[in-house]
Structure 1
Amino acid sequence: MKKYLRFVLITLAAAVVLFTLSCATVSARLRSTERESDKNNVQVTILKAENTEIKGELKSPYIPGITLHGEIEETEEGFSFYITKIRMFTNWPQGWTDAYYEASGHIVFQEQNDQWTAETTDTFELWDILKGEIRYYDAYFRGDEGLWKVKNRIDRIRKLNRFFKDEIGLPLFYPDKKGFAQELVPFLFPEAEKTFNGKERKMLFSETNLLYDQSEGERFEGGGLFWNTEYSQNILPEQLIPLRNSGTLWRDFEEASGLIYSLYNLEYIVNDWMEGKIFTTTRSRK
């Protein structure tokens, strides 16, 4: 009964949020580039609701599938964007992953001569999960089960990304998903080469992975493939080895590769990349 009541309350809360947003009107859109054709940008949308609340949303092709939500506070110099929540969504041909998390962060936008300069004064932080859902073929995971499945997936992705940045020394961010995949896939999933089509295989596996070719370990089946355990031992820290050997990381990549890329870039984009960036208004404030 308690689980059912909790599910009802969460559903009602989500409905209230959707109703509020549906009643909001766009007051302004700011882009980090003056060229409309340039897709490499960050866009901040300011929404005014009928109850005079001012909300903000931040999106970018650098973090596809992710939207930062928060409160807008107008100041004499411009406005402040207080991040309060983040939505993550990604899909694949047989399903999707959808998540809402509590988050925090503060970005100040100072206006001068119809331009806005961004400054991150409180760094972005990801906190507790609020809601999570997964569709896998005809199966839907919602409520507590969906929440924990999504949380576990996001936790695994964040551990993997920290490993790539802190131990492998990959760049702080990738401007496009293609470059990121060229680094991640042949290193982490050499056994999966034949699952890609010819064009993808040529792009991802153009160079021989010598470390993998020299591995002769036992193979475990997981996620429809057989994983070389010696190779896992050679390249990964202890906590990630069973996740590769079981095929769990491969399933995460198959079902949520967009989130792996977006979460890799997220903190850098908000905390570092935006610092000092100039934004222009694409829709006037009212």
Structure 2
Amino acid sequence: MKKNYPRQHKQIPGFLILLCCVFLFAACSTIAEKSGEVLDGSAFSEKELTAYRSGDSGSRIELRRMREQTTGAEFLSITSERFPGLELRTSVPRDGHSVSASEIEFTQARILSSHVYGWNELSLGLFGAARCVLRGHEASLEIDSPPERIQVDEGAIRLRSSRLTGAAALTSLRNRRERILALAEWMDGSEWGGREFFSGEAFAEYWKPILFPELVKKKEQPREYTTENAEWTRADSVRWNTTYTEWLFPEELRELRDSGTLLRDWEEAAVWIFYECHWDSIIASFNGAKLALR
């Protein structure tokens, strides 16, 4: 006679349940907050009307005609796969099938500079013009000169579990940009400057050993760097070679490096620094783009 044994259920270890909860929470956080913007309805406030694309994978340029749902205003959104986190916005050209280009005005650059602990998100006002043709299944873009960058007009900061918005974020981002511009000016005029980079990774790989030789392997340090008879100071758990600081940096940047402020800017906004340093060449890469309806 066949015996009926009670079915035994395997018990799931407690740590697996905890692990699943962690992943579920992370997934929900990702859904609730994407690209630095909380989904409070703003993610659905813009509608894509048409999209044009050019180039090969990895260097593809995309031009999208967008409409703000609340106001009905239209604008162009211009992005490139080579510069993730950078979006240029302009006015919309005149409709029609004319072969002549219509003038468009730059309005803002939106920058998302992510790092391991969070992100900086900002809108930078622009002043300048370009020419654009939207003709059936084709589009083209002509930029004679890069638009002038005005000022950070809005933004948000995420650092670990803290999120800064409104006036506090705006003040912090504007102060950071002043430091970034001072660093960019020195970079461009220094004996190490003058190089063009077309990715944030290459930019960081070149400049980090020069700016922070204390943080890289000895073989990666610039040959001018030495610890012999050097004076030191400690800030944020890093021992800074103040002799090297004084030798390399102009006076307005020395305190920023020796206090660790420059390192924080670098770690939290390296992509933003790259965009500010190579603004002209980045904008030039969009010039002459020929795009096809996606």
TM-score, length-scaled by structure 2: 0.74
**Gapped runs of 5+ residues in structure 2?**
1-37
Q: What residue in structure 1 maps to residue 266 of structure 2?
A: 253
> Match of 1:174, SS?
coil
* Residues 90 and 258, structure 1, Cα contact 8 Å, conserved in 2: yes
Q: What residue in structure 2 maps to residue 197 of structure 1?
A: none
Q: Measure, in 2, the Cα distance between the counterparts of 1:61 and 1:166.
A: 29
For the pair shown, the structure with the greater C-alpha radius of gyration is 2
Q: What residue in structure 1 maps to residue 117 of structure 2?
A: 94
* Residues 63 and 266, structure 1, Cα contact 8 Å, conserved in 2: no
Q: Deviations over 1:5-60 (max 9, x none)?
A: xxxxxxxxx999947x73523313232x2x3xx21243222224577643111112
- Higher helix share goes to which structure? 1
Question: Is 1:267 paired with 2:280?
Answer: yes
* Residues 62 and 79, structure 2, Cα contact 8 Å, conserved in 1: yes
Q: What residue in structure 2 maps to residue 150 of structure 1?
A: 173
Q: Measure, in 2, the Cα distance between the counterparts of 1:95 and 1:15.
A: 17
Q: Measure, in 2, the Cα distance between the counterparts of 1:111 and 1:143.
A: 37
* Residues 70 and 83, structure 1, Cα contact 8 Å, conserved in 2: yes
TM-score, length-scaled by structure 1: 0.76
Q: Give 1:134-283 correspondences, 5 Å limit.
A: 134-168=157-191, 170-171=193-194, 173-193=196-216, 206-213=219-226, 216-270=229-283, 272-275=284-287, 277-283=288-294
Q: Please report the RMSD computed on the Cα atoms of aligned residues, expressed in angstroms.
A: 3.0
- For residue 67 of structure 1, report the CA deviation from its aligned partner: 1.2
Question: Is 1:26 paired with 2:70?
Answer: no
Q: Measure, in 2, the Cα distance between the counterparts of 1:116 and 1:169.
A: 39
* Residues 132 and 139, structure 2, Cα contact 8 Å, conserved in 1: yes
Q: Measure, in 1, the Cα distance between the counterparts of 2:47 and 2:239.
A: 51
> Match of 2:81, SS?
coil
Question: Is 1:128 paired with 2:148?
Answer: no
- For residue 247 of structure 1, report the CA deviation from its aligned partner: 0.7
* Residues 132 and 151, structure 1, Cα contact 8 Å, conserved in 2: no
TM-aligned CA distance change 1:209 to 1:68, over 3 Å: same
- For residue 105 of structure 1, report the CA deviation from its aligned partner: 2.1
- For residue 242 of structure 1, report the CA deviation from its aligned partner: 1.0
* Residues 65 and 262, structure 1, Cα contact 8 Å, conserved in 2: no
**Gapped runs of 5+ residues in structure 1?**
1-13, 194-200
TM-aligned CA distance change 1:245 to 1:45, over 3 Å: same
- For residue 122 of structure 1, report the CA deviation from its aligned partner: 5.4
Give the % identical residues.
Answer: 21
Q: Deviations over 1:217-256 (max 9, x none)?
A: 3222223311111101111111111111111111111112
